[in-house]
Homo-oligomer: A and B are copies of this chain.
């Protein structure tokens, strides 16, 4: 009703949208979640996340552009690349944890009795 709540509502809306712009979509948060267990190579990520190379490549580039993932080329026998979360990505910790927790609880609610 009051101007105040309208303003704060608009702020919240914008913040949500900003977040979705960066980590929205089907894969970004899943990739970050998978990378939380340590650095991974390209194919390794592809297998673990169940994502095709084309999409994976695109998503990783976007995550790298936004400073959430770093890419390091290692000169091994066949060149390998290591993808790793950046320190900045840790600021997403609360988001990740909240979503993991909710998804887990919600699944339990659906499976066991509820209503």
Contacts and interface: CB of A to CB of B under 8 A. Distances in A.
A102 B91 contact: yes
Nearest to A8: B37
Contacts of A49: 13
Q: Tell me if A's interface is mostly helix, strand, loop or mixed.
A: helix
Interface residues of A, number: 40
B9 A20 contact: no
A77 interface: no
Which of A12, A91, A101, A107 has the largest count of B CB atoms less than 10 A from its CB? A12
B16 A103 contact: yes
Interface in A37-78: 37, 48-49
A98 interface: yes
